[in-house]
């Protein structure tokens, strides 16, 4: 990893890229949630928080314009190359979708995959609580929701399990970690409650 290349994409530049291509509040909140979880795991694993956060923030920035699997995240990769993003960041973003056939190799890639879907499940589980507060959410209720295939049906349960396994964190602990990380940005994510 070349330090000069990494500095070409700052958090401020990543935010500008996200906002240039994404207007839907739900997608922006998803990007912020994944960024937050990536930052939490980077700190936990002793990795570069700024780089991991940027990867989380940008992983779906092209989705609103190009949601079709033939385009996402490929269009985003082209844009990031044009903007001078380091190849390892682009590769990590490409690897988060199984259909790209890019095998996840680095811990950065595995954590992005493990963080993506789980944030959607946590958000949905929070918003069905009477308080709508992530501070009232516990891992056992998320695990129960996970077993209900009708709940947040767009969230792939196998991806959740495989993601946690690849980062060597058991599912209960992974859920607890994600709740803890997302709680730090509860207001920004719309999860502070009433």
Which CATH number is 14's domain given?
A: 1.10.3210
Nearest one of 90, 118, 91, 119 to 105, comparing CA atoms:
91
Residues 26, 30: Cα–Cα separation, whole Å? 6
Has residue 169 been placed in a domain? yes
Q: Domain range for residue 57?
A: 3-187
What are the start-end ranges of the H helices in the chain? Answer: 3-6, 11-21, 25-45, 49-58, 74-82, 87-95, 107-127, 139-147, 157-166, 171-183, 186-189
Check residue 101 and give its pLDDT.
92
Q: Is residue 193 part of a domain?
A: no
Does the pLDDT of residue 17 top 70, yes or no? Answer: yes
Q: What are 22-58's pLDDT values in tens digits?
A: 999 999 999 999 999 999 999 999 999 999 999 999 9
Residue 192 belongs to a domain:
no
In a domain, 87, yes or no: yes
Q: Fill in the DSSP letter of residue 96.
A: T
Residues 6-29 have a mean pLDDT of 92
Report, as an integer, the average pLDDT of 93-117. 96
Distances (CA, A) of 10 to 76, 83, 174: 16, 11, 28
Cβ contact 112:92 at 8 Å: yes
Alpha carbon distance 155, 141 (integer Å): 16
d(CA 135, CA 181): 11
- Compute the average pLDDT of residues 74-97: 96
* Structural domains counted in the chain: 1
Task: Of 31, 109, 112, give the one whose Cα is nearest residue 64.
Answer: 31
Residue 114 lies in a domain: yes
Residue 194 falls inside a structural domain: no
pTM value is 0.94
Tokens of 55: 């990867």
pLDDT at 6: 55
């Amino acid at each position: 990893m070349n330090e000069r290349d990494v500095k070409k994409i700052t958090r401020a530049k990543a935010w500008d890229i996200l906002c240039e291509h994404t207007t839907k509040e739900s997608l922006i909140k998803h990007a912020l949630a994944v960024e937050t979880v990536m930052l939490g795991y980077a700190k936990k694993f002793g990795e570069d928080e700024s780089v991991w956060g940027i990867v989380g923030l940008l992983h779906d920035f092209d989705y609103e314009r190009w949601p079709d699997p033939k385009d996402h995240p490929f269009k985003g990769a082209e844009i990031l190359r044009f903007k001078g993003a380091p190849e390892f960041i682009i590769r990590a973003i490409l690897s988060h979708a199984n259909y790209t056939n890019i095998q996840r190799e680095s811990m950065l890639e595995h954590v992005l995959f493990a963080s993506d879907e789980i944030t959607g499940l946590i958000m949905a589980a929070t918003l069905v609580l009477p308080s709508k507060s992530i501070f009232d959410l516990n891992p056992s209720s998320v695990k129960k929701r996970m077993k209900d295939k009708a709940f947040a049906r767009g969230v792939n349960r196998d991806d959740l399990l495989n993601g946690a396994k690849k980062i060597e964190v058991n599912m209960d602990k992974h859920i607890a970690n994600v709740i803890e990380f997302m709680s730090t940005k509860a207001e920004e994510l719309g999860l502070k409650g009433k």
